Structure 1
Amino acid sequence: MSETPSTPVENGSALVLFSGGQDSAVCLAWALERYGRVETVGFDYGQRHGVEMDARLAVRDGMADLKPEWAERLGPDHVLDLRGFGAIGETAMTTDRHIETDERGLPTTFVPGRNLIFFTYASALADRRGIVNLVGGMCETDFSGYPDCRRDTLDAMERALRLGLARDLRIETPLMRLTKAETWALAHDLGGDPLIDLVLEDSHTCYLGERGRRHAWGYGCGACPACELRARGWAEWTARR
């Protein structure tokens, strides 16, 4: 299964799974460069870092200001209520508990089946909207060990959705083989310093929802796994510039 289109799809459309974090922001820019129509979908699953639901709107608005062609291609935003699902796992992402490693060796920020549920709901929305390209920011190079971020998992999911919907859906994962440093580099390639500034100021990645502390790499607690990955990637990328 391909991870990126080999050439721009001028008349195609895409639905970006858009949380408002660094990775999904870069994926939105990536999609806006390739597709003639791009819509976004966010998921409210009761996450502790619910501030991302506000951040995603700021990033969308800022993205439209970066390039006229992006503004023309950016379609509507959708938000789906998945709080019932989020309550099932009782993970550190949805309840007030420490972030640690469980008996499987996975961080307690892992929400079982989250990406599978996201793509199931996104595919239903895409089917109604006449969209066949789903874009997600999953990565198995620099990540927290989540099994549903692996490309093998998403290839299986893609096959299931194609069968279940009788539609030639594609799950695109442009960041799958990139480190966080390479994701920063891709952001710069796509939108230069203005996109970097937008990601730094308006995107939100911190699992604890911390927006009061501004670091060189953006806002966050600086200690959760998401902040550590983002900070390390920033340091590696800026050291090479």
Structure 2
Amino acid sequence: MKKAVVLLSGGLDSSTVVYLAKKEGYEVYAISFDYGQRHDKELNCAKNIAEKAGVKEHIVVTTNMNAWGGSALTDKNIEVPEGKEESKEIPVTYVPARNMIFLSYAASYAEVVGAQDIFIGVSEVDYSGYVDCREEFINAMENAINNGTVCAVEQGRKIKIHAPFLHMTKSQEIKLGKELGVDYGLTWSCYKGEELACGVCDSCMLRLKAFKEAGYEDPVKYAKNNY
């Protein structure tokens, strides 16, 4: 069976990607990151999704990106702001070079387990404008990986980065996930680690809007829901 490394945060996008990769016939090796983020709710969700989806292996990599902060997700002195739908500015929830770091780890993991495919759930349609969620970046990382791994350079086994939701709206993604059997009640998207999802941060707003457009009720409970 062909193998794939899937980046699994425990959020809506990455959880859907796990199920999609399995649907496409891959043996899934899921990789999650404890990178010093402000809460571990997504990591707990990642564990539950991995178990329910029946992945081959699920590992959690620990790295201390909170050592330098620079983001509301890794520095608790920076408040998570309320989302603004029409904003063109990249919010303070952007974690510097996070996907670059994650994909580098995924490439190393893929080379060891013999996977030639990496899946990531980024989109440049419904997103906060993060530069490491754009197609140009994904293509550049794939090129870098294939110039920096023995499997690609010496053995001719190139690694492909799949970003199946890159040009898909979140509502389309949710409809697909429903068809695939994703239990969205096991996922978490809120940037805050409180008992209820806040409903007002960028991630919550994008998620709630998408569920409304898809015609489904979000099974996650929110402190505030303007949709």
Under a length normalisation based on structure 2, what TM-score does the superposition of the two structures give? 0.85
**Structure with the bigger percentage of helix:** 1
Contact map agreement 1:40 1:77 (CA 8 A) in 2: yes
Contact map agreement 1:99 1:107 (CA 8 A) in 2: no
TM-superposed deviation, 1:92: 0.1
Runs of 4+ in 1 over 3 A off after TM superposition: none
Measured in 2, the distance between the counterparts of 1:170 and 1:204 equals 27
Contact map agreement 1:13 1:37 (CA 8 A) in 2: yes
The answer for the alignment partner of 1:89 in structure 2 is 69
Measured in 1, the distance between the counterparts of 2:105 and 2:212 equals 36
Measured in 2, the distance between the counterparts of 1:87 and 1:205 equals 23
Measured in 1, the distance between the counterparts of 2:39 and 2:168 equals 24
TM-superposed deviation, 1:78: 1.0
- Superposed counterparts of 1:188-203, under 5 Å: 188-191=178-181, 195=182, 198-199=183-184, 201-203=185-187
Measured in 1, the distance between the counterparts of 2:179 and 2:198 equals 28
Measured in 2, the distance between the counterparts of 1:134 and 1:161 equals 11
Q: Deviations over 1:187-218 (max 9, x none)?
A: 02222xxx2xx21x2111111023x33xxxxx
TM-superposed deviation, 1:86: 3.6
Match of 1:153 among 114, 124, 137: 137
Match of 2:118 among 120, 131, 134: 134
Measured in 1, the distance between the counterparts of 2:173 and 2:144 equals 29
SS of equivalent residue, structure 2 residue 68? helix
1:222 and 2:199 correspond:
yes
Match of 2:189 among 199, 202, 205: 205
1:43 and 2:33 correspond:
yes
Amino acid at match of 1:112: P
TM-superposed deviation, 1:125: 1.1
TM-superposed deviation, 1:87: 2.5
Q: Superposition RMSD on alpha carbons, in Å?
A: 1.6
The answer for the alignment partner of 1:6 in structure 2 is none
Match of 2:59 among 78, 83, 89: 78
Percent identity, please.
33
Measured in 2, the distance between the counterparts of 1:86 and 1:178 equals 31
Amino acid at match of 1:32: K
Structure 1 unmatched runs, 5+:
1-10, 65-73, 214-219
Measured in 1, the distance between the counterparts of 2:164 and 2:26 equals 17
The answer for the alignment partner of 1:120 in structure 2 is 104
Measured in 1, the distance between the counterparts of 2:212 and 2:163 equals 24
- Superposed counterparts of 1:25-40, under 5 Å: 25-40=15-30
Under a length normalisation based on structure 1, what TM-score does the superposition of the two structures give? 0.80
Structure 2 unmatched runs, 5+:
153-157, 217-227
Measured in 2, the distance between the counterparts of 1:108 and 1:138 equals 18
**Structure with the bigger percentage of strand:** 1
Contact map agreement 2:70 2:96 (CA 8 A) in 1: no
SS of equivalent residue, structure 1 residue 35? coil
The answer for the alignment partner of 1:232 in structure 2 is 209
TM-superposed deviation, 1:61: 2.0
